[in-house]
Amino acid sequence: MSRGGKMAIVEINFDGLIGPSHNYAGLSLGNLASAKNAGGTAQPRAAALQGIAKMRPNIALGLTQGVFLPQSRPDRAWLASLGCVPETAPSGLLANALSASSMWAANAATVSPAADTEDGTCHLSVANLVTMPHRSHEWQGTLAQLRLAFANPAFTVHGPIPAPFGDEGAANHMRLSATHEAPGVEIFVYGVTGGPFPARQHIEASKAVARIHGVSRAIFVQQSEEAIAAGAFHNDVVAVANERVLFAHELAFADKDGFYRDLRALLPQVEIVEVPTAAVSLSDAIQSYLFNAQLVTLPDGGMALILPTEAQDNTRVWRWLSEMVAGNGPIRQLIPVDVRQSMANGGGPACLRLRVVCDPETVDPRFLVDDATLDRIEDIVATHWPETIDPGQLADPQLWHQIGLARATLLMALDLGELA
């Protein structure tokens, strides 16, 4: 998309395709939806088709759309490092090895666009996800895809921050700027404590990523303990940012006044849209995933909020949103999408995507999709993804074979055999 030799910088949403091993094992402590639906029967085929359908409105809106692919499951290498093979692994370890959680691409990496970094390249640091066992072994597969997709010299791809410093990627990172291509202010949100639930993002990990990326304009903000304890296991459950707009719950941050003051000093044109607790409680915000939405800039310059249908189903949430878009604020359009299978495991529209600001021509085209490519992926999913998986099936070698065949078919169709 370079015009006259000038790079066309846009924001690309890379969605994680929901994998054929999608199941409800209830592995994520602090994720209320995951706990509520533990032991239920999952529908991997329907889940992936919902995810594909979610990508299509972005394309229709004129936005560039990317995709990341499911990882190999069960993760035999991870089990081997624990002295196991799938055939004899304890049920708990096997469930962790079969997790399809890499579909939540917001946890894939932290991304700093070229305009923000000292060396003028776009930096991506793969997240270590060490807090949760089922996610701790994702980074190798994620890193392999990042190194392929972003092999162009316009990018610098980094390995993970070492344990024990937990890093959960872009789900705890926001960027605010006048426009996508302009230098921005990067917001690193970390946790200290969350009552009965772990704070997954460590401040030392956030600071390390900022240093490694060469980000000069960074603000480190503590997520409120109240939000984590209520089930906001990542910042993107209570806040989302796009260009100059921050959309957040009143109780998202431990010291919101200090944060807002620092933010306005670095980006005077920032617009803060705050949802008051009196209108939408933390409980309603987390149940509806109001903030786990994609806040996107449309080609005409307006902004739209792509959010789960659960937000529309909640009367209090939808009333507030409808009043917001009827006003004169920056968010002008609401686009509900059905991702109920992902939502039942605690992942809304924002969880399913990683945002990368760059020139699309610098990205490996195999990771960019249009409607025709999505049609091909959809056909493979409809043919090869399991229709249902219940926890009792996780030890079935025939299921493992079906999962492996489904992924192999997809990789072959997209000419990405090097990921096999």
List the catalytic residues.
168, 234, 351
Instruction: Determine the Cα–Cα distance for residues 120 and 311; give it in Å rounded to an integer.
Output: 39
Nearest-5° angle of CA 369, CA 370, CA 374? 75
* Alpha-carbon dihedral sign for residues 358, 363, 365, 366: negative
SS3 content of the chain, % helix, strand, coil (to 5): 40, 20, 40
Helix or strand (DSSP H, E) at 97: helix 91-97
**Amino acid found at 279:** A
> Strand, helix or coil at 364?
coil
Closest-CA residue to 209 (of 253, 165, 244, 251): 165
* 90 preceded by a cis bond (ω within 30 of 0): no
* 198 preceded by a cis bond (ω within 30 of 0): no
Closest-CA residue to 317 (of 348, 286, 272, 341): 286
Instruction: Determine the Cα–Cα distance for residues 88 and 184; give it in Å rounded to an integer.
Output: 50
- Is residue 332 a contact partner of residue 339, using CB atoms and an 8 Å limit? no
> Strand, helix or coil at 327?
coil
Pairing state of beta strands 109-112 and 155-158?
Answer: unpaired
Pairing state of beta strands 109-112 and 122-126?
Answer: antiparallel
Q: Which residue has the tokens 């759309």?
A: 65
As a whole number of Å, the end-to-end CA separation of the chain is 30
Nearest-5° angle of CA 126, CA 223, CA 249? 110
Q: How many CB atoms lie within 10 A of CB 267?
A: 20
